[in-house]
Structure 1
């Protein structure tokens, strides 16, 4: 990987990590999607050049190690699948669910969209808040000002014929448990949707993953980087006690402090710099004889 690609990967990684808030705001959704695409493009650019069978154990960005599936050990990020990060259960909406019941359901779940399913839980469409708002606006336009409450009242008493089947967007954009996280992230980013519903090979609903969960799976936080520096480099590679070198990580920049043999300092810095998602290494080490 040349110097330009290294700068590109590190820059995209830093920006993506900074855009992983504990609570996403609506205003940031489009910006975060763009950042995800940039990060994935940088990662893919490197992967296309570096991915070989012999490189599976590499510390490069194409082989970030994650907590693996049960019985499978650690999993490279290029092999990470949707099933590895899918945690939240999801309930589908029946096609005959009324307009008002759908609105109440989305508000109660605090989610922007829900899958529409048939009697066998096959996903036949997706209904989002935007679908409800568009329909409400078009119906209210034909009423006198302030008549939306009356419209909702008629819907709740069976007077309206709007249901999930008539309001949903179809076909639904879904992924399967075996879909690679990298591919699912690209799909979510390019389609600008907040969550992807997961179906089995027969199209039946089994779960959901959000765009934030996909991004979190691809971009490690500072604590995870520090843990790898200590375990894989300081303890594993150099055989040092974890307390021998003080390690701090902030926004991908690793600061090393402590005392170490002068000949080993450049080696340690070089090894830490090869850790995936490390942006820079600051040397505060004191050389000893």
Structure 2
């Protein structure tokens, strides 16, 4: 199983000049912890995480007047804590991976670099993102060291995602579909029981599906401004 089999494809992104307030709103609205910063041609320029935004507030709060007396001003830190646009506060030139990287290797990469997610690129352009949650979902389905995903499994995955997106009224951005040897697992968040069942029916009706395990949870009240 590889990055292409578990990654989130409908990636929420921002441009280099997106404002900090806009980025914070996107994280809250979509229930995500980071957004890639991309160019007009979808090249990955950087990543802005919720940690970057929270750190701005923490830096201001913890610097009491007496600490300021002894503080050594750092231009880079100043930009990070006071910048108003994505390119000013992002982590630039982030680590990226290809669609064919195996899950076990991705896991080791995240651990080695102490990161929670990694953008997936193809021909230099962003095509998805793999988070720790995506990895756990993949590990829950198969043994990442030995399992192989066939072309049929990938076709099933895309067929299910397309059906959910186009015909069910359920936000596919919040759902991840994992397929191994025709066994389907649904992960993510939906609004209610009806949406949960709609996603399951879409998966059950896809050609080649042998079994569907529905792990979908529910969006917390107040999530995304509701």
Q: Normalising by the residue count of structure 2, what TM-score does the alignment of the two structures yield?
A: 0.50
- Which structure would you say has the larger RCO, counting Cα contacts within 8 Å and 6 or more residues apart? 2
Higher gyration radius (CA): 1
Q: Normalising by the residue count of structure 1, what TM-score does the alignment of the two structures yield?
A: 0.39
